[in-house]
Amino acid sequence: MASRAARPPRLQHIHIPGSTHCLPSYALAVAIQSKLQQRLLDYKAAVATASEDSSRPLPPPPPPPTILSFIPAPTYTLGRRQTSPLCPVEAQRLRGRLDVYWYKHDKSSKGKTAEEGVDSRVINGQTLDHDHHYASFYPAIHNAPRGGLTTYHGPGQVVFWPVMDLKSPLHRHFSVRDYACLLEKTTIASIAEAATSSLPSFPPEAVRQKEVKGFTTENPGVWVKRRWADGDEDEADGRPGPEGEEERKIAALGVHLRRHVTGLGVAVNCSMPVRGPESYDPWRRIVACGLEGKRVTSLAYEMLDYLDQARWIRAMGPQPLVLLEGQYKNKNRESWAEAPVLETQMLRAWPEFFARSLQGRPEEASADGARGSDSTTTMTRDDLVDDLTIDEVLGKGWENTIDVPEEEQYITATRKRVVGTIPLEST
């Protein structure tokens, strides 16, 4: 067991910035993660060399644990078990056009109407404000070094990839099982916190339930129970039916290790659609993670009345990350893009809970993993987490050292400009 410092090192949090029509690609995130992993592997190699040769100087302190977060461009990833290439028909289906609802902040369009060239949407007889748009994407397909089968990443989801040495002297040591539990408990605590923190932003009449409780099962990831009462909508076919409930996956988990250095992590569904046709709901194109009969869900779908479409969409309104409770010290930093409220609250909560649990002893951690030892419970998020840019961690010019085609660094969307009803409930 590594010695514990009186004041734990701060966790580095790097958020790859993006906006509706310029989202970071999965390939770019993998390249940045690889650079962070290589720093730790180089340090471990230097320590091993110094221990074998006393004439060599000791290396500097190890790099601190880092979390890489991003809201990804639409991407389907394949697991290690999928050794055969996809057949052309299946690949074409996955790469088919996907219409993603997202918020577009366009100050120049204030006060304009649809006839003047600005999108207008009519939902249940109500016209949405002109700042809400659809964007069309063509999803990428990538192989990932994880177990499981095909899963999806895209707008409305926040991905967290911790890069850390499970045997680092900076924090308590973890087995692979302990680390997986750390990811699960952090996600469960963050889902509950993001739901509670987002409530003031939602119209009360649009709220379906105020709390979202996650749990684990024999299947990987974090799950929630979707309940409906007698006479309400039957989740199986969309018609009224008897009382029932169903386990649904709200966060996917995948881990890859190299010499105890972690890769991949958790993807949390915040406001992505989980119903509708294939052109709108990306999950209809796959059996998520190969789990037949299991469906996915999102925080928005659990919290809000999805059938009242206009209110549901307005509730997805964004807030700038730089203004979130004063968390980010440099208010002039342009790298923090706007995001819907659930994603914003998740970006605040997940790194904090991870930092707390990272430092706490197992016997001192609470049941939900939200608090660590006594030394961390009195600390604020600012005491535990450094929100940094990629340049601040990897140095300026880092983009010249990665092997990612320019077109794969950020995926630019093609906007749809169609006036009319959005078919959210089409089947």
Provide the pairing of β-strand 157-163 with 66-70.
antiparallel
Q: What is the CA radius of gyration of the chain?
A: 22
Which residues 6+ apart lie within 8 Å of 122 measured at CB?
128, 419, 420, 421
Q: Report the alpha-carbon distance of residue 214 to residue 285 in Å, rounded.
A: 25
With CA atoms as reference, report the closest residue to 383 among 329, 339, 343: 329
Measured CA to CA in angstroms, residue 135 lies from 45, 87, 142, 417, 418 at distances of 46, 27, 21, 9, 11
Distance CA 303, CA 305 (A): 7
Task: Write out the two tokens for 305.
Answer: 């009345």
The full DSSP string for 74-142 is SEEEE-TT--SPPPHHHHHHHTS-EEEEEE---GGGTT--GGGT---EEETTEEEPTTEEEEEE--EEE
Q: Within the chain, what is the greatest distance between any pair of CA atoms?
A: 78
DSSP reduced 3-state for 384: helix
DSSP string spanning 30-62?
HHHHHHHHHHHHHHHHHHHHHHH-TTSPPP-PP
Q: In whole angstroms, give the CA distance from residue 351 to residue 385.
A: 7
The contacts of residue 364 (CB under 8 Å, 6+ apart) are: 372, 373, 374
As annotated, the active-site residues are 289
Q: CB pairs under 8 A, 24+ apart, for 332-336? A: 333/389, 335/15, 335/17, 335/389, 336/15, 336/17
Paired tokens of 222: 């974090």
What is the phi/psi pair of residue 11, to 5°? -80, 130
The number of beta carbons lying within 10 Å of the beta carbon of residue 42 is 12
Q: Which two tokens stand for residue 44?
A: 């471990």
